[in-house]
């Protein structure tokens, strides 16, 4: 992709924006970065890049660019991004931009939950199979950053959020993984259908030469690519679960008991990763060996410690209802739940039967706490905390030896924290401070 003589506008000065700016420069483009933040928040850019801090919609209306590359954190349909459309030859996202340069094999991974774990699993298995692979995308490292490497990896395990998929155009993953779907990000989308439509774009450009890996029971519409189905709970898929054994067409290919992965949700993450890696030529035998030493990522049902016979589980990555439900179902001990955070417009009514069946008590906190307490109190004793540290103390008082305190918020963290990582770190520190 030659951008010589082209004007490139980058929207967003964060990690994706910086990587996109570097990539545009490397291809000969003249680059301007727009962000509503002040200049000191921009970070480091090459001297050749023009920086426009405190940008507004008026800045967008004045912009004339051959290509506008938008970062996933900026709402595509918002006033700021929309202002750039008329003066743009084309508006795309950083993932789409980088994919036009990358020439390796792409495993694209989307779903409401499990994306990060599955992305890590795919990377680990492909490397074990002799295929150089980088985990990137929503995982943390932008694809544009990977593309800038002198020696690009042979494959990428690309975690894809709905925000990134909104702005694809020609992007075509050789393997597209759909893990699951449940309502989320209702603070950004006007309807569940809009959120779902964004995620479904992962299949948009696939052909009969590609592969779709889809959880059995998920309606993803008509597919152009052949499809492999998996499920830990439903019969009839290509991959299934029998006890702790992951089965492919009725034959065991991996024993979860030989790994550090636990729970139905992780069994399905493993199935999806096995199917994706097998499509790229890595055998289940190699994959099984690669996963034997794998430890789940931090903040995803992470055992922080045990105190007075009570296990403390950090599942701060649970930023929606589906993740919270999966965490609850995977518990095998009497559970005290800590939940709450940002108000995202989600409907928690559907959670009540599960709380009544599986939870002894709940502690709520954060922006949504005042709405959750009367709702959850209908089926289980529920108390409120003003801080996460206070929530830990209240949960400890309610728990009994042999039980679990599960920190699985069920919504995002941005009312009180910079992200789920900081939120999980605060929970861990609060637990470690207990005497």
Q: What is the pTM of this model?
A: 0.76
Q: Which of 17-21, 118-122, 291-295 has the lowest mean pLDDT?
A: 291-295
pLDDT bucket at 304, cuts 50 / 70 / 90: confident
Q: Which residue has the tokens 């928040």?
A: 41
Catalytic residues: 115, 138, 185
Give the torsion sign (CA, 228, 131, 125, 318): negative
Per-residue pLDDT, averaged over 64-85, amounts to 93
Number of helices (H) and strands (E), helices first, in the chain?
Answer: 15, 20
Q: Which of 47-61, 160-174, 262-276 has the lowest mean pLDDT?
A: 262-276
Per-residue pLDDT, averaged over 140-146, amounts to 92
Residue 336, both tokens: 């005290």
What is the model's pLDDT at position 36? 94
Q: Is the pLDDT of residue 262 over 90?
A: no
Residue 78 contacts residue 84 (beta carbons within 8 Å):
no
Q: Is the pLDDT of residue 132 over 80?
A: yes
Instruction: Tell the burial category of 348 from Cβ atoms under 10 Å away from its Cβ (0-12, 13-18, 19+).
Output: middle
Tell how strand 335-340 and strand 359-365 pair up.
parallel
Contacts of 364 (CB under 8 A, 6+ apart): 338, 339, 340, 372, 373, 376, 382, 383, 384, 385, 391
What is the model's pLDDT at position 263? 73
Contacts of 12 (CB under 8 A, 6+ apart): 33, 34, 35, 70, 71, 73, 74
What is the model's pLDDT at position 186? 56
What is the model's pLDDT at position 183? 62
Per-residue pLDDT, averaged over 154-166, amounts to 95
Cα separation, 61 vs 424, whole angstroms: 41
Per-residue pLDDT, averaged over 367-371, amounts to 96
**Domains assigned to the chain:** 7-89 (3.40.50.720), 97-291 (3.40.1190.10), 302-432 (3.90.190.20)
What is the model's pLDDT at position 46? 93
Higher pLDDT, 41 or 129: 129
**Most confident listed range (20-34, 191-205, 338-352):** 20-34
Per-residue pLDDT, averaged over 388-414, amounts to 96
Per-residue pLDDT, averaged over 284-296, amounts to 85
Residue 347 contacts residue 368 (beta carbons within 8 Å):
no
Cα separation, 279 vs 283, whole angstroms: 9
Portion of the chain with pLDDT greater than 90, in percent: 77
């Amino acid at each position: 992709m030659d951008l010589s003589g082209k004007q490139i506008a980058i929207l967003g000065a964060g990690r994706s924006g910086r990587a996109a700016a570097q990539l545009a420069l490397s291809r000969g483009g003249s680059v301007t970065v727009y962000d509503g933040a002040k200049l000191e928040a921009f970070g480091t850019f090459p001297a050749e890049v023009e920086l426009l801090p405190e940008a507004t919609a008026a800045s967008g209306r004045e912009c004339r660019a051959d290509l506008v590359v938008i970062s996933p954190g900026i709402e595509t349909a918002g006033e700021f991004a929309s202002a750039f459309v008329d003066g743009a030859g084309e508006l795309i996202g950083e993932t789409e931009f980088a994919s036009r340069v990358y020439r390796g094999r792409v495993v694209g991974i989307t779903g409401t939950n499990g994306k990060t774990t599955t992305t890590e699993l795919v990377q680990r298995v492909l490397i074990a199979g002799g295929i150089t692979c980088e985990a990137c995308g929503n995982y943390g490292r932008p694809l544009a950053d990977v593309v800038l490497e002198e020696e690009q990896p042979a494959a990428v395990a690309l975690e894809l959020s709905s925000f990134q998929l909104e702005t694809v155009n020609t992007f075509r993953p050789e393997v597209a993984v759909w893990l699951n779907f449940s309502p989320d990000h209702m603070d950004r989308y006007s309807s569940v259908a809009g959120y779902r439509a964004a995620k479904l774009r992962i299949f948009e450009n696939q052909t009969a030469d590609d592969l779709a890996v889809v959880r059995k029971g998920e309606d993803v519409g008509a597919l152009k690519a052949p499809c492999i189905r998996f499920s830990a709970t439903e019969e009839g898929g290509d991959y299934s679960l029998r006890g702790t054994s992951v089965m492919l067409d009725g034959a065991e290919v991996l024993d979860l008991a030989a790994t550090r992965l636990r729970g139905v949700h992780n069994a399905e993450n493993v199935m999806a990763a096995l199917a994706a890696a097998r499509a790229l030529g890595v055998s289940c035998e190699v994959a099984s060996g690669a996963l034997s030493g794998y430890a789940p990522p931090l903040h995803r049902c992470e055992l922080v410690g045990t105190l007075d016979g009570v296990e403390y589980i950090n599942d701060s990555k649970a930023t929606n209802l589906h993740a919270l439900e999966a965490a609850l179902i995977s518990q095998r001990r009497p559970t005290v739940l800590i939940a709450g955070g940002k108000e995202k417009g989600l409907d928690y009514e559907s959670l009540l039967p599960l709380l009544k069946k599986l939870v002894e008590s709940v502690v709520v906190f954060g922006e949504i706490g005042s709405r959750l307490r009367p709702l959850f109190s209908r089926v289980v004793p529920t108390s409120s905390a003003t801080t996460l540290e206070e929530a830990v103390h209240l949960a400890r008082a309610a728990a009994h030896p042999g039980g679990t305190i599960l920190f699985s918020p069920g919504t995002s963290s941005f009312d009180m924290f910079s992200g789920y990582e900081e939120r999980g770190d605060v929970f861990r520190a609060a637990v470690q401070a207990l005497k």
